[in-house]
């Protein structure tokens, strides 16, 4: 069974701080890695994708990938209350294959 593991949280950070979210995956042939944000009762919304080892930055978000360690992370700088949501890590093994999701980490940004 190919798994994607995340700490369910909640992860609580004060407004303006950096939130660090982590994810590990078991399938070594995974090629594409995604972070989705999901507000309660809503659908997943893609916020970051990463395919190569290293860092990828997009605004306040930075995704980090280490294929040797089978580890993906998401950093959110200058966290805002509106960032409070569940963050889902997802992986797939090829361009058109299914996404396998982790259980998600609930982030709470406190005032």
Partner 1 sequence: EPEVTQTPSHQVTQMGQEVILRCVPISNHLYFYWYRQILGQKVEFLVSFYNNEISEKSEIFDDQFSVERPDGSNFTLKIRSTKLEDSAMYFCASSDPGRTYGYTFGSGTRLTVV
Collect all residues with Cβ–Cβ distance below 8 Å to 4 and sequence separation of at least 6.
23, 24, 25, 26, 89, 90, 91, 100, 101, 102
Among 51, 55, 59, 80, binds partner 1 (CB under 8 A): 51
Nearer to partner 1, 38 or 70 (CB): 38
User: Does the protein bind partner 1 through residue 97 (CB under 8 A)?
Assistant: yes
Percent of the chain that is helix, strand, coil (3-state, to 5): 5, 55, 45
Among 13, 19, 30, 34, binds partner 1 (CB under 8 A): 34
Q: Are 15 and 72 in contact (CB under 8 A)?
A: no
User: Does the protein bind partner 1 through residue 61 (CB under 8 A)?
Assistant: no
CB of 45 to partner 1, least distance (A): 8
Q: Hey, what are 23's tokens?
A: 């994810």
The contact set with partner 1 (CB under 8 A) reads 32, 34, 36, 41-46, 49, 51, 88, 90, 95-104
């Amino acid at each position: 069974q190919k798994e994607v593991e995340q700490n369910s949280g909640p992860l609580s950070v004060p407004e303006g701080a950096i939130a660090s979210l982590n994810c590990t995956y078991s399938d070594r042939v995974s090629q594409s890695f995604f972070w989705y944000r999901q507000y309660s009762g809503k659908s997943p919304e893609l916020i970051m994708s990463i395919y190569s080892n290293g860092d990828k930055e997009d605004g306040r978000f930075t995704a980090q990938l280490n294929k040797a360690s089978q580890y993906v992370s998401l950093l959110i700088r200058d966290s805002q209350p509106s960032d409070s949501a569940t963050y889902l890590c997802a992986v797939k093994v090829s361009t058109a294959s299914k996404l396998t999701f982790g259980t998600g980490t609930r982030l709470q940004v406190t005032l």
